[in-house]
Structure 1
Amino acid sequence: MQQPNIPAANTAETRDDLLSADDAARILGVTKQTVSRLIRTGQLPAEKVGSRWVIFAGKLDDYLVENNLVPEPPDHPRRAGVGIPTPAGGSPAINALSFFSGALGLDLGMERAGIYPALYCENDRKCRMTIQAMRPDAALIGDINRYDAAQVLEMAGLEPGTVDVMFGGPPCQAFSTAGAQRAFDDERGNVFLKYLALAADIQPAYLVIENVRGLLSTPFPLVEGGQPQRGGAFRLILRHLEEAGYEASFNLYNAANFGAPQIRERVVLIAKRGGGRVPYLEPTHAPAGECGLPPWRTFREAVEGLDPATLRHTDFPEKRLRYFRMLKGGEYWKNLPDDMQREAMGKAYALSGGKTGFYRRISFDRPCPTLVTSPTMPATDLCHPTEDRPLAVEEYRRVQGFPDDWRICGDVMDAYRQIGNAVPVALGEAIGRAIRADMAGRVADPRFEGFPYSRYKRTSDQTWG
């Protein structure tokens, strides 16, 4: 695995150099006011010279190390002289671009399939630090709206017409069934359209879109007092792709069917330029070993061998632990004694739906439920099967498929958020394998005709509409 190359906090020749608050703010990627607060609270040692605070560069280095940070990277091109790795088997290098890259879950899966991005696009500060720590040689850009196709290619060091794969998972909140589903009336939905516009100009041979199930049903347009069309947002996406010369195949996939020890269902669309449909992803696992495949991987398998002394986690409030202690692995609030259920749930007791995430202890012998950005949110609890605590960051990392030495910059909550938002590495690898197989002209394996990729119906390009 490529080793992290963590840059120094600045280019000073010695670590006794003095930095201004502005310098420190630039290096940390925060405001000057935040630096002032860090100085005032003693988190960042500083000395006053005249009327100004100054920080020793070495002290700033110490702060970065102690807080698991690297200097905030500026947007930068691919490092000169660094080539794109060649896939195993003697295939030529594949030119790829990654957007909405996050902590690089999808990217790691693509790498395992032999597809290495020349450029990452990510606007979140802590995610950018993670990318810089783990993949410093590739290009890194921020706000997708600030770049056109020519600028993206220049930063990636690629010529027009040479991009093989462009992939990413545009922010899903605008399409989530748990939210307002504002689609393209949401700022996050608008970056989806920017992504499609960039693809139309860059013209990759393959374009990948990963998103939540709600993408298939989000109504659009949102006309006040009118009747928006169910699924209208996705129809608009498909129309954009068709106008740009792409044919799309898509399905709703459960990551557990590809070796992830997690029940996580996501829409994956692969569009191919110039006609022709990419076959569905090939499963590697099945719920109970159907089609001659191994059964789904379990949480127990995922976390085997972790050192308990190294685990980092938040804690449940004591008033909630009272109820967790009454539950066994695989149980949730409905397994509490009848007279305790209403007391434990409070106002949530009257909510409709199954409410299966409340007071949920996961099972060792099943895949983990979908990881979320915090394991202590009441409606999406992720409590350890036998211990009275939430899942640890290191368990999160294993469930998503990240290597144990994959550095996630920031504190524990930053790690939960970055890992919880990631695409399972195993699902990313399945996407990469499907593209590589199509490049090689291989056809779909007939064994998987009609395979139940998810628990929902009418979620593929053959059945949706």
Structure 2
Amino acid sequence: MDGILLSATKVAYKLKVSEQYARKLMRDGKIKSEQVGKSWVTKEDNYKDYINSGEFLVNPDDKIRPSHEIPEIVALSFFSGAQGLDYGFSKTCVKPILACEINKDARSSILANDSDIGLIGDIWDATPERIYEYANLPMGYPVDIIIGGPNCQPMSTAGKRKGFADIRGEAFIRYIDVIEEIRPKYFILENVRGLLSVEAIFDDTNDKPVKGGVLHYTLNRFEKMGYAVSFQLYNAANFGAPQGRERIILLGKLGTEKLPYLTPTHSENGEYGLPKWRTLRDAIGDIQKGIHHYVDIPKGRKDWYTKIPEGGNWRSLSLEDQKKAMGNAYNSSGGKSGFFRRLDFNKVSPTLLTNPLMKATDLVHPTELRPLSIEEYSRIQGFPDDWHFCGKIVEQYRQIGNAVPTQLGEAIGRTIMADIRGKRLPQYEGFKFSRYKNTDEISFKSDYQKWTKDAMSKNLQMSLTI
């Protein structure tokens, strides 16, 4: 074998994987290689061909922000993902100078779209010293804003554990710690609606889980740090996103003055004199003749979609076909509107997920025999057409589906920038921010007192029964 040769050890080093995995790639022919004795070797050109094929994405190194200039407003981003929140925020307030993200595909996307940003990985390695070093800031320099949407998936099991003493290892809690260590003037904490009700057990609840315990703990932490916190559950459609995606947004400000709720730019039916919600057609209508990249509908399901019209789902089929298409799910309980669902150009899109072809939440094109494409996903989330998503197509779907709609980021940026400039944005009394009631910090405190009493009451009843 002529040319520069690479051993399995060298390939593993370059790919940032284990030597065992590198050897498997070489043995299976993913990287064209030869066995020499008991070892595997490949040419440098073969390695480059493998990388250029897109089969594997090398995790980029952490990177110190190259510029020594310090912007007027300093913002840092954590759990940055595809930067939907960051990009929207930058349009109305300021661009973060540091991103913290552990997923290699998202990290690659961050650097592909912003060569000037600093980048760090695991939040557990994000000490104040490392944060300042990679943001290229003097240690202790005042940070104005911290932005983040900590992964909430592990929090769903919090109610099954022995309170917060056992979930100190959760990234959600680490994000709160980072805010306490850096003490920005403002912070943003974005999460799913479930955060309002995730249970937790405390010493004073006699081992009984209390609904809303995680959020209660979070608010208490921030209050002890000296932050005034407001929050609300927002439907992104009220801020110009062509998508009915609901997210809870906590806004914190040092001091005793809370930030106001976000100012909507749209309303469902034109209430308050605002423009009506944007539709799927508004978002993707002009790119229908362009090039699209997407995953294929499984063969066993594709034929059913030929019988389903725009805006329809499995109920659009004949009774006989419904039973065949749905199988065992036909007799299952619960909402099933997402099965074999075709979207409607004249309505807002449902919430984009990490996979457009999950059986119970299909996101299939209104008229074509395919799911929404990467390009359409990106448009719905508000990214510009030249935004680059790295990785295989399934990873691109995952990045975009996990992102916060950029329009929601814009609304947050407007609110914080107005406060920095000493201005007030319009407020619409009685505006319905989402389809749910009692989703603000004032209602929550009242509800939490009731939930605590209910939990203690159940505990007392059990004790009397025993």
TM-score of the pair, normalised by structure 2: 0.87
Aligned residue pairs total 439
Is the alpha carbon distance of 1:143 and 1:318 closer, same or farther for their aligned partners in structure 2, counting shifts above 3 Å?
A: same
Letter in 2 for 1:221: I
After superposition, the CA RMSD in angstroms is 2.5
1:74 aligns with 2:54: no
Q: CA deviation at 1:56?
A: 3.8
Mapped partners of 1:226, 1:347: distance in 2: 39
Letter in 2 for 1:206: Y
1:347-398 per-residue CA deviation (whole Å, 9 max, x = no partner) reads 2223322222111111011111100011111011111101111111111111
Mapped partners of 1:243, 1:150: distance in 2: 23
1:81-121 per-residue CA deviation (whole Å, 9 max, x = no partner) reads 3535x5xxxxxx21111101111111111111231112111
Correspondence 1:196-215 to 2 at 5 A? 196-215=176-195
**Is the CA contact (8 Å cut-off) linking 1:208 and 1:271 kept in structure 2?**
yes
Letter in 1 for 2:79: F
Mapped partners of 1:420, 1:435: distance in 2: 26
State the match for 2:253 in structure 1.
272
Is the alpha carbon distance of 1:286 and 1:60 closer, same or farther for their aligned partners in structure 2, counting shifts above 3 Å?
A: farther
Find the residue that maps to 2:81 and give its secondary structure: coil
1:217 aligns with 2:217: no
Find the residue that maps to 1:305 and give its secondary structure: helix
Letter in 2 for 1:386: T
Q: CA deviation at 1:226?
A: 4.7
State the match for 1:9 in structure 2.
none
1:313-341 per-residue CA deviation (whole Å, 9 max, x = no partner) reads 11222222232222111112223223332
1:22 aligns with 2:13: no
Find the residue that maps to 1:257 and give its secondary structure: helix
Larger radius of gyration: 2
Correspondence 1:364-379 to 2 at 5 A? 364-379=345-360
**Is the CA contact (8 Å cut-off) linking 1:253 and 1:453 kept in structure 2?**
yes
State the match for 1:138 in structure 2.
117
Find the residue that maps to 2:253 and give its secondary structure: strand
**Is the CA contact (8 Å cut-off) linking 2:75 and 2:97 kept in structure 1?**
yes
Q: CA deviation at 1:185?
A: 8.3
State the match for 2:344 in structure 1.
363
**Is the CA contact (8 Å cut-off) linking 1:161 and 1:203 kept in structure 2?**
no
Q: CA deviation at 1:18?
A: 4.2
Q: CA deviation at 1:69?
A: 6.3
State the match for 1:10 in structure 2.
none
Letter in 2 for 1:401: G
Q: CA deviation at 1:233?
A: 0.7
Find the residue that maps to 1:334 and give its secondary structure: helix
Identity over the aligned pairs, expressed in percent? 45
1:451 aligns with 2:437: no
State the match for 1:306 in structure 2.
287
Letter in 1 for 2:107: R
Higher helix fraction (1 or 2): 2
Correspondence 1:194-343 to 2 at 5 A? 194-221=174-201, 226-306=207-287, 308=289, 310-343=291-324
Mapped partners of 2:378, 2:13: distance in 1: 30
State the match for 1:440 in structure 2.
421
The runs of 5 or more residues in structure 1 that have no matched partner are 1-15, 87-92
Find the residue that maps to 1:319 and give its secondary structure: helix
Question: Residue 423 of structure 1: which of 399, 404, 410 is its match?
Answer: 404
Q: CA deviation at 1:51?
A: 5.1
Mapped partners of 1:291, 1:243: distance in 2: 38
Mapped partners of 1:300, 1:64: distance in 2: 37
Mapped partners of 2:97, 2:76: distance in 1: 6
The runs of 5 or more residues in structure 2 that have no matched partner are 448-466
Q: CA deviation at 1:277?
A: 0.7
Letter in 1 for 2:405: P
Question: Residue 62 of structure 1: which of 36, 42, 49 is its match?
Answer: 49
Q: CA deviation at 1:32?
A: 2.6
Mapped partners of 2:328, 2:272: distance in 1: 45
**Is the CA contact (8 Å cut-off) linking 1:161 and 1:204 kept in structure 2?**
no
State the match for 1:45 in structure 2.
32
